[in-house]
Amino acid sequence: MKINFETNINIEVDNCNFRTLTISFLRALTPLFELYVGKVLLHYFYHYYHTGQLQEMFDSKTIRLKTTAEKTKFKTLFGDIWVPQIQIRVYDSAGKEHQMSITRAILGVSSKQQIPDFMKELIGWIGSVTTFRVGHNIIGGLTNFRCSLTSVWRSVKWYARKIQLELSAEGTNEFEADGTGIPTKHSGKRGSELKKVFQKKKDGKLHIIGLSIGKYKDKKDWQSAFSELLTALNSGLKKYAKLILSSDGDLSIIEVAKSLNSKRVKIQKDKWHVFHQLKYYLWKDGVCKELKNNIIAHFFKITMLAKCSIEKRDDRINRYIFLLESAGYNSVATYLRSSMDGFYTHETENNTNIYTTKTERSMRTTNQRINVGVWSDSGALDVTKIRLAYYYNGISPLNWKNAA
């Protein structure tokens, strides 16, 4: 429907400087937008009222207009505006009368909020890609929108809870899981562990499907992060006989993943972590630097480069571990023996990720924001969820003008 209205705009300017012209025009837009929103709001109210759509909207037999004399405040890109507050009397099926304001319902604004929902999405997204204070200044500097830093923080919380992390339509049966330590309040020297679960897409990119935060090795938090993977097992990925999960060998990850379905979930050890962790166990056994490098290089050669049958390769690995054990390197031998379980899943299950998980690279994306500020667990989870959903799932409000 077309809305026609006429108005005169009087703009006073002191000079012809472009900065002055921009400022004066932005200020003049506030009353114009206020008039525009008010007329459109009343037009659609009467349209819904006379066509019966209002009765359907509020599930009522009879609706009567009480008044539009009061005003309701909203914060917009053009500044703070006041529009008619539409108050109605609603009569339910039992004949009981209720009085309510429906201005926000018609405009699509959440109850008791002054900031429109799409603006909260934009503010929440800005708060995840830059600091709250910088985002607050950017919004105020480019528009007439005025809000507090608390509003920025609340918008981040609101938008994070709105985002749903779901399976990708372009996803495969390969998944990755890893945790990273982040500094949070009252979490001690180690901080909290941010737990991530990704699905691998057909183009090789990652798609985040699970995120939680809590103590290290906490199985309850991993169960929360794996909730979408459990959905995949029960419904979304029934076309796949098995699901392949790549991880760094964290027992809490493996145990929770196996508890979802021990027969259908197969573990692929992240080989980069195996060779990296090997350095720690060599140090623990007191191996000198020169010998340490030789042991790692030889183990890499017989596990990754040897061109022989599977039986012969496994025999060589077992003999090498036995030699390490005989030399007194018990920590190294025990670690390598445990690492062999799931080391060659890519061969038996034909998955493509054979060396290192891309999830490790997502830690930098996370830390670029988390390292700026002091966080509670819930605050860190909210801002990280928005950030990762934007970078990996393409979820953002940047196309709001097209969506309209």
Please report the pLDDT score of residue 273 as a whole number: 87
Q: Residue 77 falls within a domain, yes or no?
A: yes
Domain hosting residue 297, numbered range: 271-355
Query: How does pLDDT run across 79-111, given as a tens digit for each residue?
Result: 999 999 999 888 776 677 888 899 999 999 999
Say whether 114 sits in a helix, a strand or coil. coil
Q: Residue 6 falls within a domain, yes or no?
A: yes
Q: Residue 285 falls within a domain, yes or no?
A: yes
Tell which of 114, 142, 168 closes a domain: 114
Please report the pLDDT score of residue 301 as a whole number: 92
pLDDT at residue 233 tops 80:
no
Q: Residue 224 falls within a domain, yes or no?
A: no
Please report the pLDDT score of residue 239 as a whole number: 64
Residue 398 CB coordination number (10 Å) = 12
Please report the pLDDT score of residue 236 as a whole number: 58
Q: Residue 221 falls within a domain, yes or no?
A: no
Nearest to 117 by CA among 149, 84, 162, 72: 162
Please report the pLDDT score of residue 354 as a whole number: 64
Q: Residue 311 falls within a domain, yes or no?
A: yes
Residue spans of beta strands (DSSP E) within 148-275: 171-182, 192-201, 206-214, 243-247, 265-269
pLDDT at residue 197 tops 90:
yes
Query: How does pLDDT run across 248-288, given as a tens digit for each residue?
Result: 888 899 899 888 888 888 988 888 889 889 999 999 999 88
Residue 243 CB coordination number (10 Å) = 22
Please report the pLDDT score of residue 219 as a whole number: 87
Who contacts 178 (Cβ-Cβ below 8 Å, separation ≥6)? 196, 247, 248, 250, 253, 270, 357, 359, 360, 363
Tell which of 73, 96, 114 closes a domain: 114
CA distances to 139, 313, 330 from 318, in Å: 62, 9, 14
Mean pLDDT of the chain: 88
H, E, C per residue of 168-191: CCCEEEEEEEEEEEECECCCCCCC
For residues 369 and 390, give the distance between their C-alpha atoms in angstroms, rounded to a whole number.
13
Count the domains in the chain: 2
For residues 150 and 48, give the distance between their C-alpha atoms in angstroms, rounded to a whole number.
36
Query: How does pLDDT run across 136-158, given as a tens digit for each residue?
Result: 999 888 889 988 999 999 999 99
Kindly report the pTM of this predicted structure.
Answer: 0.87
pLDDT at residue 217 tops 90:
no
Asked if 91 contacts 60 with a C-beta cutoff of 8 angstroms, the reply is yes
Tell which of 114, 137, 162 closes a domain: 114
pLDDT at residue 295 tops 80:
yes
Residue spans of beta strands (DSSP E) within 215-262: 243-247
